[in-house]
Amino acid sequence: MREGEVRISSGCAITGIIDKKGIRFDGSDIVKSIALMHDRSNGLGGGFAAYGIYPEYPDFYALHIFYETDKAKLKAEEFIDEHFVTENCGRIPTRKNAGIVEAPQIWRYFVKPNVAKILLSGHSEDEYVVKCVININSQDSGVYVFSSGKNMGAFKALGYPEEVGDYYMLERYNAYSWTAHGRFPTNTPGWWGGAHPFTMLDWSVVHNGEISSYGANKRFIEMFGYNCSLQTDTEVMTYLFDYLVRKQGLSLKNAAHIIAAPMWGKISKMEQLDKEYYTALRIAYSSALVCGPFSILLGFTGGMLALNDRSKLRPLIAAETAEKVYFSSEEAAIRIICDNPDRVWAVDGGKPIIIKVEGEV
């Protein structure tokens, strides 16, 4: 991976900020933080996830959708009208930015599932929405639902992340939790849908690294109705968390220990209870183990999870103040928006850090 004659040894950048009390703040700091790591990206993708941005529609799923053509939009809206009740919709506001070109139509719909359709399907409300989103995204129709959670949203594009933040005017949004990504793709194409974050319901993942176990992970997760169609390995990580936590009922900690499980040699030297715990997880969910170098930030309603691969082959730094917790690929990207944190440390390999806000969000 080269930019000119300089080797980018761990390209891609991620950063995240979460307020411990769920107090919302605008997107200026997250854009400033990710912009500092400009050289980790190459202009082939940038994006953000924000939680708490739609307090006027807290019980509605916010569908953010890319359309390539008017015909694609008409067909998708027919599907939405058949399967959902729409409270409000319109274009997502943007401003001109010289770095953002060939933009699709970008629309937003606040919807609730059609109750009769849910009863006929036999699914829960969340599962019904997942099935609908996968159905739309699986069609080669010029339509891509890139965000589908409640009171949250993803904003992404083909460009540098600071250009994307300016394009979507993120300083106008207020959220209690933000994540951001600057992309440097090495073996997958750069396109609007391939930019991070990848989402499903209120899960969102930004990722620095490469999933060498993608084939096995993809085959595993597609047995349960998911469809990896977005031409990038990171998509599977989002579906793994959704499957393990929402569908299997595991804790976030359990899911992280499956995805970044210790090696068998290390497990064999553990105390008996730990040995039994990790052995059970590895046997039961062997195909959900993610191999290769990675650092990720997982956003979810009311919190954020930070996770490194078990060998810590990608950088991930954490910092904390009385009010906020920060994560980033580089310490400098934290200090540019928080010059004097109470503490700074490196996230350990395979050991998740989970932050949940106080009170109700």
What residues act catalytically? 12
| Separation between Cα atoms, residue 263 and residue 282, nearest integer Å | 9
- Which among 149, 161, 252 is positioned nearest to 199, based on CA atoms? 149
> Could you tell me the two tokens for 186?
């090495």
| Separation between Cα atoms, residue 47 and residue 109, nearest integer Å | 19
> What secondary structure letter does DSSP report for 159?
S
| Separation between Cα atoms, residue 217 and residue 233, nearest integer Å | 9
| Separation between Cα atoms, residue 8 and residue 279, nearest integer Å | 36
Residues in contact with 100: Cβ distance below 8 Å, sequence separation at least 6, in sequence order: 94, 157, 158, 159, 163, 164, 167
Q: Which amino acid is at 22?
A: G
Q: Kindly list the distances between the CA atom of residue 276 and the CA atoms of 161, 249, 264, 269, in Å, as whole numbers in the listed order.
A: 43, 19, 12, 11
Contact assessment for residue 344 and residue 321, using Cβ atoms and an 8 Å cutoff: no
Handedness of CA 179, 183, 189, 190 (dihedral sign): positive
- Which among 117, 116, 113, 93 is positioned nearest to 103, based on CA atoms? 93
Contact assessment for residue 206 and residue 238, using Cβ atoms and an 8 Å cutoff: no
| Separation between Cα atoms, residue 36 and residue 150, nearest integer Å | 30
| Separation between Cα atoms, residue 86 and residue 76, nearest integer Å | 13
